[in-house]
Structure 1
Amino acid sequence: MSASPTRKSGWAIIFIAIFFISPLKVIAAKEPIIRVLIGEENKARFRADGSKSIFVQGISSKQRPIKSINIVYGDDTASYSINNNLNSWFELPENFNLIIKNNDDRGIWFKNRRYAGELRVLLNDQKLQIINYLKLEKYLKSVVGSEMPKEFPLAALQAQAIAARTYALKLLGKNEVFDIHSTQASQVYLGLEAETAKTNRAVRSTTSLALFYENKLIEAVFHSSSGGRTENSGQVWKYQLPYLRSVIDYDQNSTKYRWSKKISSSELDKIFSDLGGLNSIQIKKKSNSGRVLVIKLYGPKGSKNISGKNLRKNLKLLSNKFDVNLKFNHINLENKLNSDDKAVGNSVLEPLPPITTDYFLLVEGYGSGHGVGMSQWGAKAMAERGANFRKILRHYYTGVQIKAY
């Protein structure tokens, strides 16, 4: 028996509903929520933006609309006050987990920034941990504007969006309490203030795209500027990954392509107190891209080898691609022989010049960051020469696929 015209039109409507509505629901459900650690404090204040309220769950049996909440932890007790009434404080239960949210696109204020999604406050390791829960794509709109100048070309911003998305996806669910830091410990996230129309466009136009190697998400690390050539991952971290190989960089117009730093003798005495200061410094080993791997330090109390990575951290340098010189002021380098100096063979033992307290260490370096993966200033230069985001990403991440996750 054939179906009647009424039945046919009914099936057509069902088909249209399944085809057009269901995929949208699947995509919406697929987008993960990311948990971003935005603060570890002894006290915190949250407030609404403007006349709207925030809602706090966990301070009473019902969700309460209020204008602001202050939370303080001290002497093993956490307390809160609401609506700036600092004369009235209430103790929180031992295992509290506050959820703060609102219905305002302008977000929730914490410190001097506004955040989308919801904020959760809990106690962990004697600190109030503030964790921002929000959808991944909303998070990325801030990250792109936080990590890369909004004036950069769209293709560079798109490349940053895909790298940041991949980096975040790789960390989802790895930690029990939160997924990712809001600082350079992971990738920088500065809340709603970092969003612009251009950075939002970069995220929207690359929605769901991520970087894969042999069908697995990659470690999509990136940095500001490599100083002419990126670094192999194995020279910086424990493993050499096949897609994080040294390649030529195009970052010559970076504001940090070349830099220098002077460190005074008094600062060096504090930094290298175990050596009694610094008498001499010698680079022992560099990588093929020119980054310092091993350096030897000499001081009045002895000598030691340290990694270029540790020296960078100790001296707060932009990168470990540098040369060093110890500069001494007012030293007479003319070593005149004393009357009792004796010749040994054809050479003469000359006294070393005295080390004065008036000296400094001059460090002259290149680039900013660890130098592995995508160079942000290099991406800018490639985009300005006409490269699209795919070409940029395939240059800095060797042999990767760019596809939906």
Structure 2
Amino acid sequence: MIGQFSRTGRYGWLSLLLWLLMVAPALALELRVAIGTASSEVTVGSSTPARILDAANRPLANLQPLEGVTARSIPGGVSLQQVKSSRLWIEPGEGGYVFIGDRWYRGKVKLAQTDKGLIAVNYVNLEDYLASVVGKEMYPSWPAEALKAQAVAARSFALYRRQVQQRQPGSLFDLGDTVISQVYTGVESEFPSTEAAATATRGQVLTHGGRIVEAVFHSASGGFTENSENVWSKPVPYLRSVPDFDQESPSRQWSVSLTSVQLKQRLPGVGNIISLRPVRVSPQGRVMTMQVIGDKGSQTISGAQLRRALGLRSTLFTATPQMGLVAATGNAPTLPESFLFSGRGHGHGLGMSQWGAYGMAKQGYGYQQILQHYYQGTTLTTLQAD
């Protein structure tokens, strides 16, 4: 049953007000997004004349437009052309874009040294960031209500992660640019429809108990989303299992066959794989833990670990051995030639299903209803910036 949208919510305004006072400046500030991973060097540039600033925000040099230059990691800092500092900023002129790696981004970039190498951090306005994220996380041609739901979920997730990261001493960024956070590719994934979704929902976030929620999402659940404790081992009140509307998802059902050689390579330490036995399975059918039995031992791993190791779309699957080979020793068990993995859904199964949001929007549901269905007991709240 889809919950009714309530703008006022059920929680005391005092706790919500205290939270708003904490996060309202976030709307006026920039998000810090790490672009790519740490490396020894990165190519940067600007679409307009830009300033190169040091860690104290003092101008050091100018950068000509459309001139790609290489920033390099050096002991204790960063070098760019003839400029060296513990940290460097590239700040484009008005209306300019910054180039990082192989893409254009709004805002500016900070180059900093870490123990893993040089990292480029894009400082970008929250709403500009969302126009790009929505365009990468969903098809821009999808119904407007689905895009709006994605914008609110992405905004909530970003501000939640921003709060978490700012508690960490020396934190350099709030989010990454991959699926581990939210996929962000800068200007190339901005579209009129995704900009409209961000604008129409400007400042709107999901709250629970007066706090912005960690509004995780995934591609498709395969029929039912999952309770958080079956994935994260901790219950989250707004991440409850609900029926999905993902009937049109290309991952509604899937199958993949892996040979015994592939399994041995991807699941080392137990020899040739004899069987895969589910130890714990969620009520929705997701593998929580699996015993991997081989001819040289066995081990029990989580469903998430198994999914990553085998490259499966989700943990909602069954594994069927396909028999063929016989071990050389006469008393050894018959070894499967391959395993057939038959599953449903794509992703961890928590929170909003993107294909489910698409399905609900096509059926006429508004983005508020979509969000309240997938994030149970939450309230849609508009943050006011100073």
TM-score band by shorter chain is 0.7 to 0.9
- Equivalent position of 1:166 in the other structure: 156
Instruction: Describe the shift of the 1:323–1:29 C-alpha distance in structure 2 as closer, same or farther (beyond 3 A).
Output: closer
Q: Which residue of 2 aligns with 1:87?
A: none
Q: Structure 1 residues 64 and 121, CA, compared in 2 at 3 Å: closer, same or farther?
A: same
Percent sequence identity is 35
Q: Decide whether the 8 Å contact of 2:157 with 2:214 is kept in 1.
A: yes
Residue 284 of structure 1 and its aligned partner are, at CA, apart by: 2.6
**Alpha-carbon distance change, 234 to 180 in structure 1, aligned in 2, over 3 angstroms:** same
Partner of 2:28: 31
Residue of structure 1 equivalent to 2:335: 355
Q: Is the 8 A contact 1:106 1:114 kept in 2?
A: no
How do 1:275-294 and structure 2 match up within 5 A? 275-294=270-289
Contact 2:52/2:59 (<8 A) preserved: no
- Contact 1:222–1:372 (Cα < 8 Å) also in 2: yes
Please show how residues 186-197 of structure 1 align to structure 2 within 5 Å: 186-197=181-192
Report the CA distance shift for 1:218/1:28 in structure 2 as closer, same or farther (over 3 A): closer
Q: Encode CA deviations 1:64-90: one digit per residue, 9 max, x unaligned.
A: 232332112367775433xxxxxxxx4
Match of 2:354 in 1: 376
Alignment of 1:252 onto 2:247: yes
Name 2:138's counterpart in structure 1: 148
RMSD: 2.3
Aligned: 1:232 with 2:227 = yes
Structure 2 unpaired stretches of 5+: 1-23, 166-170
When residues 234 and 248 of structure 1 are mapped into structure 2, their CA distance, relative to the original with a 3 A threshold, is: same
d(CA) in 2 for partners of 1:72, 1:297: 44
Q: Letter of the aligned partner of 2:271 in structure 1? A: G
Q: Distance in 2 between matches of 1:92 and 1:241?
A: 46
TM-score by length of 1: 0.81
The answer to whether the 8 A contact 2:100-2:120 is kept is no
AA matched with 1:156? A
Look up the SS of the partner of 1:174 in the other structure: helix
Aligned to 1:404: 382
Q: Write the letter of the residue equivalent to 1:71.
A: A
How far, CA to CA, are the matches of 1:77 and 1:119 in structure 2?
A: 15
What CA distance in whole angstroms lies between the structure 1 residues aligned with 2:205 and 2:325?
Answer: 58
RCO higher in structure (CA 8 A, sep ≥6): 2
The partner residue of 1:365 within 323, 332, 343 is 343
Change (3 A) 1:221 1:77: closer
Say whether 1:223 aligns with 2:218: yes
Instruction: Give the secondary structure class of the aligned counterpart of 2:247.
Output: coil
Larger radius of gyration: 1
The CA distance in 2 between the partners of 1:252 and 1:367, in whole Å, is 10
Q: How far apart, CA to CA, are the structure 1 residues paired with 2:176 and 2:27?
A: 22
Query: In the alignment, residue 287 of structure 1 is paired with which amino acid?
Result: S
Deviation at 1:328, TM superposition (A): 2.1
1:296-307 paired onto structure 2 within 5 Å:
296-307=291-302
8 Å CA contact 1:43, 1:73 repeated in 2: yes
Count of matched residue positions in the alignment of Structure 1 and Structure 2: 348
Report Cα offsets for 1:135-159 as digits up to 9, x if no partner.
1111111111111111110000000
Letter in 2 for 1:364: S
Partner residue, 1:55: 51
Distance 1:180 1:321 in 2: 28
Kindly indicate whether the alpha-carbon contact (under 8 Å) linking 2:35 and 2:100 is maintained by their aligned counterparts in 1.
no
- Structure 1 residue runs without a partner (length 5+): 1-26, 82-89, 333-337, 339-350
Measure, in 2, the Cα distance between the counterparts of 1:127 and 1:173: 25
